[in-house]
Amino acid sequence: MPLVEHLRELRNRLAKAVVAIVLVMIVAAFYSEQLMQFLAEPVPKCEDLANSDGGNCAIVSFNTLTSPFTTTIKVSLMAGLIVSSPVWLYQLWAFIAPGLHKHEKKYTYVFVSAAVPLFVGGAYLSYVILPVSIKVLLSLTPGGSANILSLDEVLDFTIRMVLVFGLAFELPLLLIMLNMVGIVSGRRMIGWWRGVVMGVFVFGAVATPTTDPVGMIALSGPIVVLYFVAVGISLLNDRRRARKESTGPADDEASELDLTPESIDPVEPVAALPEQATKDRVNGYDDVT
């Protein structure tokens, strides 16, 4: 299609994605209270302010006049993005799919089917360890002080942890994608294992806000295991690619061209034509030239 048609199609697909997100947001707004309770559930709540002395529990509250409204919008938007993800992901896929080869489409289906459970697994793991992380943070509260937490900050903390764990679980899949396109080989990934393990644990220590090793190990341990799984898959893919290259390209792929420059033979002198030899020449050219 011409460029204008591509832009028109992109506009239509973006409009469909936005409509789906807005519709889910409207429905989620009616259940915003239940969603807030679910996201704030990991916080050990106190029965009253008198019991909030020290770091045993906390009082969850709204600290500003506009906090109930902004928190409701934020929770509804998050629910709209997550619940409507099949719609806008399909619109994105439908826009780029016509430009992909047959084998690239097959790989995309595999990656999407693997990315969703990986992200969900990381998000679920973060929600499981959130109570431990919050208790450790609250335990640092000195005696005589009360913990009064803003619900907006609690939701931000919960969402940040879910996103960090979910996206971190996608890193091994990214390595497999780089191997599929031929950027990184499995043998090179094996040589990186010491630095990768060290970097993953440093990332786990920075990404998790708690001072205990539970959150760091809970995040870093599965990523290290997934990294070695990615290395094994990459090694198998390298062997498959080597066998495939020996049989030639696929039906919808162009053959590789040999663009190696070749030497040029010396130019042979050309004798002047008889009619040119008899004419008057100026600076080596005839008067016609």
Q: What per-residue confidence (pLDDT) applies to 19?
A: 92
> Alpha-carbon distance 74 to 103, whole Å?
39
Query: Quick one: pLDDT at residue 253?
Result: 57
User: What gap in Å lies between CA 118 and CA 172, rounded to an integer?
Assistant: 10
Mean pLDDT by 10 residues, the chain (289 residues): 81 90 91 86 75 71 82 87 81 75 72 80 82 78 76 83 82 80 79 84 73 71 85 84 69 63 72 56 56
C-alpha dihedral over 41, 42, 43, 46, to 10 degrees?
Answer: 60
> Is the model's pTM score more than 0.85?
no
The distance of Cα 108 from the centroid of its chain, to the nearest Å, equals 14
Sequence ranges of the domains in the chain: 3-246
| pLDDT in the model for residue 257 | 66
pLDDT at 100: 66
The per-residue pLDDT for 117 is 84
Q: What's the DSSP call for residue 61?
A: E
Residue type, 160: R
Cα(75)–Cα(80) distance, integer angstroms? 9
User: Tell me, what amino acid is at 286?
Assistant: D
pLDDT for the residue numbered 282:
56
Rg for the chain (alpha carbons), in Å?
A: 31
